Amino acid sequence: MIAVHGGVGFRLDRSLSVACADALRGDEVDVISAVSSLEGNPLFNCGHGSNLTMEGTVECEAGFMSSEGFRFGAVGAVSHLKNPCCVAKAVAVTERCGRLIAPMVLVGKGAEDWAQKQGFSLCDPDTLLTDKTRQNWNKARNVLEKTGYEEASSMDTVGAVSINDDVVEACTSSGGIILKTPGRLGHCTVFGSGMWAERRKGRSVGVSVSGCGEALTRADFCRSLARILLKRKDDSLPSEIVHSFFEREYLNSEMMTPIPPDRLYAGVLAGSEEATRPSLVPIAANQLEVARTNLFQSSSLVRRPSSHLSLFLHSARLVPGAPFALYRQTAFDSFVCVLVVDCLPVAPGFLLLAVDQFTISWNLSIETNLFQMAHLSNALFALLIVVIGARYEDKYDRTKMPWDLRPIQNYIGLWSLQSTTGRSRDLPPPDQIDFAINPVPKFGARALNITHTYFQNGQVTRHDYGYMPVKNATRRDPRVHVAYLTTSSEGWSMMEQGQVKGNMMTFHLKQFLRRSFDVGARNDLEIREFERQFEMPSYNQMIMKVRAETNADTEGFTAMYKRLMG
């Protein structure tokens, strides 16, 4: 099992996805070859494409760790190494000579001289520069000269984690923060801060982190997080563990007093494997006024973070994962967001995604960075993203949740639909109408909650209009599914007015059914029958019944998900 991430960045570039996927290709890919691939790509802040120092020079750093003997090696402040991660591993595996202690960290000219003696070739520092890094450097210098304050900049350290035959390896590589003081060392060179790899009592954990190096070093970040994950109880929720860790040890720790709050970024890739269930846990946590990360999508009014998940399944074939979006608009100024995605390889090319979604402030946007996964077994694959700011609003009252939904209350999810504009008879004319459909997997059934968000006079208003359980109409024919939408008269009026009516609602519901019950390849599922019926049991309530028959059998999905939930 191996995964690579592109760091906590501030860029939107589709080629990032291609680059991360390319880093995982090959018959014998490992963390060093994967990170080396990113170091050679100018899109990433490492190797060729690194941020420039205050003097306009490149100073790279990288670290490597293996669970075998807790071997660790790092190099820092190097300007003549094309692939510093390779030298970092060489430092880690170097045996001591006689009574001399082998070094763990080498920096500057000493690191470059040592690398040359070990057979590594040196490069001209100018070959590590790009036009883009020069432009970013000039822009940052101008901002600093005009405002006296350094603009929040790219801290997107790249990294990789692998678990193979009971051996855990982790690697990070970075060009550091832009306009850094020459000679500055980041978390990549600090034992326990930039990465961790350990195996204990049948459980393996590998961690690679990206973010503000000074803050991560103060937190002893990777070692602290890894050891909490190693010691966690079998029935504990990873989301609760990580949430608590970020709040206690990172965001609210006294150790972070010297660090500006708007620089407390952290993006973590953690791999975990047990004897019965390997999993990979990418985690991203940010506290930003506006987080503009690698897979960030925006409109003029609504900022929507989104992510793509790709995996290697079975014969190491790269399978693009379904895109999913995390967003919610409220009037809050801070947020907590937890996303849990379980990918169940029910059939080749199919992944089941279940999402745990909380509220995000409308004027804030957070997203996990670019993650590409490799997964060569048929076991559970878990994705956990934690975004921590301050308070959060839980959309569901879990104490009142129906008993048959409580076993999966931590898998509440969100599908975002396309925005549309229009006017409502019962609501103030909105600048933009936005719908979000929230499915809850329930042993072969799901539930929907339709949310309407509109903007007026710079304010954001959100209304929840419907609750829709989606279930199999009959166990004898699992291809038939029925959905019921219960909505208020106000909500129904909103749906029927403007552009949000009739065919638009049918399209949205049809898309949901397609996403919810697709057990084949992405484009080979057709909904054979789709019809709607309407009932009005009371003056202020209307029920819309939707029936869809597909050409795919979801019985296998239902059985596997039921076994998963115990």
Calculate the CA 204 to chain-centre distance: 21
Chain position carrying tokens 């909505």:
487
- Which pair of structure tokens corresponds to residue 281? 């846990």
- Which pair of structure tokens corresponds to residue 525? 């599922």
Q: What is the DSSP string of 213-262?
A: HHHHHHTTHHHHHHHHHHH--TTS-HHHHHHHHIIIIIIS-GGGTTS-GG
C-alpha distances (whole Å) from 7 to each of 22, 46, 265, 284, 546 are 16, 10, 11, 9, 43
Q: How is the chain split among helix, strand and coil, in percent rounded to 5? A: 25, 30, 45
Q: Are 251 and 265 in contact (CB under 8 A)?
A: no
Q: Which of 114, 2, 7, 106 is nearest to 50 (CA)?
A: 7
Per-residue DSSP letter, 527:
E
Q: Are 416 and 325 in contact (CB under 8 A)?
A: yes
Chain position carrying tokens 């879990």:
398
Three-state secondary structure readout of 152-205: CCCCCCEEEEEEECCEEEEEEEECCCCCECCCCCCHHHCCCCCEEEEEECCEEE
Q: Are 496 and 544 in contact (CB under 8 A)?
A: no
Written as one letter, the residue type at 544 is: M
Pairing of strands 324-325, 266-273: unpaired
Kind and range of the H or E run holding 529? strand 527-538
Q: Are 367 and 296 in contact (CB under 8 A)?
A: yes
451 among known catalytic residues:
no
- Which pair of structure tokens corresponds to residue 306? 């989104």
Tallying the residues shown for the chain, one arrives at: 566
Q: Are 548 and 510 in contact (CB under 8 A)?
A: yes
Go through 62-76 and write b for each residue having 16 or more CB atoms within 10 A of its CB, e for each that does not.
bbbbbbeeebbbbbb
* Backbone angles phi and psi of 407, in degrees to 5: -60, -25
- Classified as helix, coil or strand, 303 is strand
Chain position carrying tokens 């966690």:
232
* Backbone angles phi and psi of 472, in degrees to 5: -70, 135
Q: Which residues pair with 469 in a beta bridge?
A: 447
- Classified as helix, coil or strand, 525 is coil
**Which member of 157, 330, 451, 487 is catalytic?**
157
Q: Give the C-alpha separation, 476 to 454, whole Å.
A: 43
- Which pair of structure tokens corresponds to residue 549? 């028959």
The residues annotated with a catalytic role in the active site are 157
